[in-house]
Amino acid sequence: MPVVLAIGLTLFFQGWRRGAAVWFAIIIGTFAAILALKLLFIPCGMEELRTPSGHVAAATVVTGGLAAMLRRRRGVVLPVALLAALLIGVSRLVLGLHTWPEVAMGAVVGVVGAVALERLAGPPPPGLKVHKVLLIALVVAVLFHGLHLPAEAEIRGAAWRLARLFEICRGTQVRL
């Protein structure tokens, strides 16, 4: 989240208002899509698909989106987004935190966000200092590396409460 905020603010203060607005809208939309999928799949999912990978979606949309926002030529966004999805996805699998379907779903959501950024933001303005955006993103990433928000536990609890409240997934044993 700090990197997302830093990139958006850097774009804004460099005068690319449209780029900053699209950046924030697409990133928030991507995170909201993952949250909605988690709220649905945690209580109602199949054994192999319980919690779509938010880490994969976030890495994919941010990395691919950054390539979309800073590109000087077309055709770089999809390969960059897919590479981020692959690297983070494999790490989530190795750590035993997700299954292949969960990683794939996160990747799809992230790639859709990155492609939307490319289409909606348009080309960067001529005066945009790409090196400044990248440097600020890197510094913020290093400063906040290791910071962990306990969001997953909260999302799980909310998913089970919502399932119980709205009486969905009756075939699944809803627990709190």
pLDDT in tens, 95-123: 888 899 999 999 999 999 999 998 898 88
Amino acid letter, residue 126: P
pLDDT at 6: 95
Average confidence (pLDDT) over 40-63? 88
Which domain, by its residues, includes 32?
A: 2-149
Look at residue 171 and tell me whether its pLDDT is greater than 60.
no
Angle at 162 between CA 159 and CA 164, to 5 degrees: 110
Instruction: Give a yes or no: residue 169 inside a domain.
Output: no
Q: 176 to each of 49, 65, 162, how far by Cα in Å?
A: 19, 37, 10
pLDDT cut 90: percent of the chain above it = 50
Sign of CA dihedral 48, 46, 176, 155: positive
pLDDT at 175: 47
Sign of CA dihedral 136, 141, 147, 151: positive
Amino acid letter, residue 57: A
Instruction: Give a yes or no: residue 173 inside a domain.
Output: no
Instruction: Give a yes or no: residue 104 inside a domain.
Output: yes
Q: Domain tally for the chain?
A: 1
CA dist., res. 85 & res. 108, Å (int): 9
Amino acid letter, residue 55: H
Instruction: Give a yes or no: residue 125 inside a domain.
Output: yes
